[in-house]
Amino acid sequence: MMALLTSLVGVGCLLAICWWVVALVQIRALLKRSVGGTSVPRPEITFFKAFPACRSDDEAAMWQHSVESLLPHLAAGDELLVGIHACDQARFAPWVDALQATDSQQCLRVIYATPPGLHINQKVDWMHCLAKEATKPLWFWSDADIEVPASFGDALAADAARLAPGGMMTYAYRIDQPGSVWSLLDAAFVNATMLPGLALMRNKPELCFALGAGMLFRAEDFQKRVDWGELGRQLTDDNFLGRTLSPSRLGTVTLTTRTGATGPRAALSHYYRWEKTIRWTEPLGYFCQLLVQPLAFTLLGFAILPLSTALPLLLVMLWLECLYLSRAFRIAGMKGAASLLALPLVPPVRLLVWLAVWLPIGVRWRGVYWARLRYDAKEAAR
């Protein structure tokens, strides 16, 4: 039995090291993709950007950068719908006026309103409002904090040509700047866990999910196949859309975001919500994350190996994991090297969260408690 456990520790550590090498190669390959060829005409697109109720100047600046990165890629005939809460009009009005003054194609339309509260998912509530104003045959939904790269215009044209009947194109994203040391958790998940996984699936003809960073689909397909009421009851509305508007395929470019959480409570809550939703949607895949986070195996070593062996093994694997994370961050173009000094804290916190998400504890998102992926008012009231 002891020999079996010792082998398990060794295999777990070796498996993690092998995966880290493969993952670094895959991240680089994903981010180096190019469109190739010449730009092709595409149908007109309605772009959706829905701002939640703003909580800070930093949050407002992040959303503004998102819109500003998108505007240069709009073609004649496109429209960009930006939904801003009526209570935030004074905060954003000077910025909106400046943008509209430079918008020669008159693509930007800003809707100041208070979402009606038809859906418990507040993002879907906003998107439903904006959809009533949309007039173009293609829709592009994107989260408020997502920025697009310089090659986005050509990539979008190529992806529109690859759009399958009834399906969608969805887009990977990376974190290029952590909001604080605590945001390293999100950066570790996106840049070092999610990106290599997406890279391995980049050539698959069909995915079983979508990413809220960017989703391109036909308005007609959405109107025929998606029920707003059901979509509004989903915590992971992007995953629901990816399964409903199928086949879903990975787009040509990788988008960018920044982490907004600055304090430990907000960062841990955000990271826990991400991990919990993955555990709910893909429990087997989430369980397998343990195989590439070797801290659990090295801690097991303390029960079966001499201290003189277990302690060096723990320190070496911790150092290798930090080395992998720092290298993944560098390949993903993440700034903020000073925060990397806190990297040794990331593996133990990730392991604790991995354990916690298996407990029957839901998540809270913008004031609403979710006991499962599909909202249940009775469970939320308990």
Q: What is the mean pLDDT of each run of 10 residues along the chain (382 residues)?
A: 79 92 95 71 95 90 95 92 96 94 83 93 96 97 95 92 94 86 88 94 88 96 96 96 94 88 81 94 90 88 88 94 94 76 90 95 91 77 53
Summarised one tens digit per residue, pLDDT across range 351-362 is: 999 999 999 999
pLDDT of residue 258: 84
Strand-pairing partners, residue 108, are 80
Average pLDDT, the chain: 90
Which 3 state secondary structure label does DSSP give 44?
coil
pLDDT of residue 263: 78
Q: What is the pTM of this model?
A: 0.93
Q: Rounded to whole angstroms, how far apart are CA atoms 51 and 162?
A: 29
Strands 138-141 and 215-218: antiparallel
Q: Rounded to whole angstroms, how far apart are CA atoms 268 and 311?
A: 28
In sequence order, which residues have a C-beta less than 8 Å from that of residue 278 and are 6 or more positions away?
285, 286
- Residue whose C-alpha is closest to residue 257's, from 355, 179, 359, 140: 179
Q: What percent of the chain has pLDDT over 70?
A: 94
Q: Rounded to whole angstroms, how far apart are CA atoms 302 and 203?
A: 42
pLDDT of residue 33: 79
For the chain, which residues make up each domain, given as ranges?
A: 11-28+270-365, 41-258
Summarised one tens digit per residue, pLDDT across range 255-268 is: 999 876 667 888 88
Q: Element (H or E) spanning 57, and its range?
A: helix 57-70
Q: Rounded to whole angstroms, how far apart are CA atoms 119 and 117?
A: 5
Cα 78–82–87 angle (5° rounding)? 160
Q: Which two structure tokens, joined as six digits, stand for 86?
A: 């009526």
Q: The domain 41-258: what is its CATH number? A: 3.90.550.10
Q: Residue type at 73?
A: H
